[in-house]
Amino acid sequence: MAITKVTGNVLSDDSVSYDKLGVEFTASSALSGTAIDWDVAQVFTKTLSGATTFTYANDEIGMVKDLVLTGDYAITWPSGTKIITGTYDGSVANLIQVVKTAAGQYWLSISKEA
Amino acid sequence: MIAIEKSGTIQTFTRLPNEWNDDKGYHINFRKITNKEDYGFYNVVTPEYDKVTQQLSQIFWDADNKVFTYTVNNIDFDATYTFEVKDEEGNITEETKPAYDKDKLKADIISNAKGDANNLLSPTDWYSSRKAELDTAIPDSVLADRKKIRDKVDAIEAEVAALTTVESILKYTYNFND
């Protein structure tokens, strides 16, 4: 019978390797649209071609996502977003990290290559 | 200048903020938007007005022209204000005074002119001190320059005395370099 539930009795300490993690923690996805499905990848990349309004799906409290965005256009984030630090620079690639801190609350930091 | 009305309050900006939060979401790189009106931002039109004799109203939304603007109002130089005065016996009476006191305005101009003249004279005051103490002659050019400054003050006093309206007093200017 296949194991369908992992319990503390099955998993020993330090036994979950990177290889065993799901794509939501390990994959990088090039966004084709503007909907960010937090289950699909850890890192999302996109080159903007116009003003962009992002939406989220499957976002859960405590999750952190990384976005690498380029393109000198206005970006609209979902309501409840707070910018913690950084300013978007349309002339370079920007690393944007989003943390969902509570229902409808997203803390966002922006950084770029020094 | 641009402005937006938010919760009944009009906020003005010299240009679009780079970040903006509204019911559509949190916008970054906001200056890159192509149509600010989509977000409620409109131009501010400031009408031409005489800054001495006129003043602008509170900013308001002109729905017909889709701009934020002001109306121009003439200042009432004949306005008065009333205040209470208590005499030695404790009786309170009301007194009325003009909001623009012509004599005070004139006195202020002359006082400023004398102050400016004093500043212009002070670098050469030491010639006068030397003359008083040692009887050393003051160079003619210095005497002429100092006389010119004092004459200018006399001229300013005469010009100011001849002013009859608040507007003319407020618009009066002088220049010691004339």
CB of A110 within 8 Å of any CB in chain B?
Answer: yes
Confidence at residue B68, expressed as pLDDT on a 0 to 100 scale: 98
Q: Cβ contact (<8 Å) for B29 and A88?
A: yes
- Going from N- to C-terminal start, the domains of chain B cover 2-74, 101-171
Query: Does residue A27 belong to any structural domain of this protein?
Result: yes
DSSP letter for B139, please: P
Confidence at residue A1, expressed as pLDDT on a 0 to 100 scale: 63
Confidence at residue B177, expressed as pLDDT on a 0 to 100 scale: 85
Strands A43-47 and A64-70: parallel
Query: Does residue A33 belong to any structural domain of this protein?
Result: yes
Closest approach of B26 to chain A, Cα-based (Å)? 5
Radius of gyration of chain B (CA): 27
Type of residue found at B165: T
Mean pLDDT over A84-113 rounds to 96
Closest approach of A41 to chain B, Cα-based (Å)? 23
DSSP letter for A96, please: E
Closest residue of chain B to A79, computed from CA coordinates: B25
Over residues B110-133, the pLDDT tens digits come to 999 999 999 999 999 999 999 999
Query: Does residue A11 belong to any structural domain of this protein?
Result: no
Mean pLDDT over A84-102 rounds to 96
Q: Determine the structural domain holding residue A48 and report its residue range.
A: 18-112
pLDDT beyond 90 at A76? yes
Cα torsion B138, B142, B147, B153 to 10°: value is: -130
Confidence at residue A13, expressed as pLDDT on a 0 to 100 scale: 84
Q: Cβ contact (<8 Å) for B27 and A76?
A: yes
Least confident of A42-46, A47-51, B95-99, B124-128: B95-99
A45-52 own/partner pairs: CB under 8 Å, 24+ apart? A45/A69, A46/A70, A46/A71, A47/A71, A48/A72, A48/A73, A48/A75, A49/A73, A51/A75, A51/A76, A51/B32, A51/B33, A51/B34, A52/A76
Which chain A residues are closer than 8 Å to B40 by Cβ?
A: none
- A-interface mutation test, from B22, B28, B35, B41, most A Cβ less than 10 A away: B28
Q: Alpha-carbon distance B165 to B157, whole Å?
A: 16
Q: Cβ contact (<8 Å) for B32 and A73?
A: yes
Q: Cβ contact (<8 Å) for A74 and B25?
A: no
Predicted complex ipTM: 0.85
Q: Cβ contact (<8 Å) for B26 and A51?
A: no
Closest approach of B6 to chain A, Cα-based (Å)? 17
pLDDT beyond 90 at A10? no
Put simply, whether the predicted model's pTM sits higher than 0.90 gets the answer no
Q: Are A72 and A91 a contacting pair, CB within 8 Å?
A: yes
Closest approach of B20 to chain A, Cα-based (Å)? 9
Overall domain count for chain A: 1
CA atoms within 13 Å, Cβ hemisphere of B65? 10
Q: Which positions in chain B have a beta carbon within 8 angstroms of at least one beta carbon in chain A? A: 18-19, 21, 23-34
Closest residue of chain A to B36, computed from CA coordinates: A74
Q: Cβ contact (<8 Å) for B26 and A77?
A: yes
